[in-house]
Amino acid sequence: MKSTTFEVGDVLPRLRHTATPLQLFRYSAVTWNPHRIHFDERYARDEGHAGVARHSHLRAALALRCVTEGLGPEWHVADVAYRLRRPVYAPVEVAYTARVTALEDDGMTLELIEEQPSGEVGFEGTVRVSRTVRDDTDGTRASTALVAGPV
């Protein structure tokens, strides 16, 4: 059972992940992304990369998994912003962490970090989550505390 109460400074369980070339290929396939740096190692090295590059959206998806799995279904992602500081090449294990930085009425803000094996930050971002509530009119999920404008 996950706690529904969080404090500033709380850190969600770290998500460790080793992205393999096979995962990168499948991610390219399911997103219909033909960019060769993600699945063609020879081409990627010709471009100056150290191997096949992990997709930025895959890195974001993994960081968001750290949040959604760490918080549980009572919360949902309202907005997220991130910046890529350095690439990640497969296969390598990286770790995603999320730390609560602010509490709001029906939401909170967490800092997202992708930590590379060297200890360097590969990706950093901010995510706002809101409590998930039901819409009484039709039983579907509704949200509270959504931001009014772009993050």
Partner 1 sequence: MSFTPEAGTPLAAYYAETQPRAGTVLSRRSLGTLDAVTIGRYAMTIGAADPIHYDAAAARSAGYADVVAPPNLLAAIVEWGVGTPETALGADGTPHGGEVPLGEGLRVMGAGEEMELVNPAVAGTEIVLETTLEAVTPKQTRAGACVFVTTLNTFVTAEGAVLNRNRRTVVLRDPLEES
Q: How far is the CB of 117 from partner 1 (least distance, A)?
A: 19
Name the 3-class secondary structure at 107. strand
If the CB atoms of residues 9 and 73 are measured against partner 1, the closer one turns out to be 73
Number of Cα atoms under 13 Å in the Cβ half of residue 96: 25
Residue labelled with tokens 């497969």? 90
Q: How far is the CB of 65 from partner 1 (least distance, A)?
A: 6
If the CB atoms of residues 9 and 143 are measured against partner 1, the closer one turns out to be 143
Q: How far is the CB of 89 from partner 1 (least distance, A)?
A: 13
If the CB atoms of residues 103 and 146 are measured against partner 1, the closer one turns out to be 146
If the CB atoms of residues 79 and 111 are measured against partner 1, the closer one turns out to be 79
Cβ(100)–Cβ(129) below 8 Å:
no
Cα–Cα distance, 11 to 32 (Å, whole number) = 34
* DSSP label of 22: H
Cβ(135)–Cβ(142) below 8 Å:
yes
- Interface contacts to partner 1, rule CB under 8 A: 17, 23, 26-27, 30-37, 40, 43, 47-48, 53, 55-58, 60-62, 64-65, 68-69, 73, 76-84, 87, 132, 134-135, 139-141, 143, 146-147, 150-151
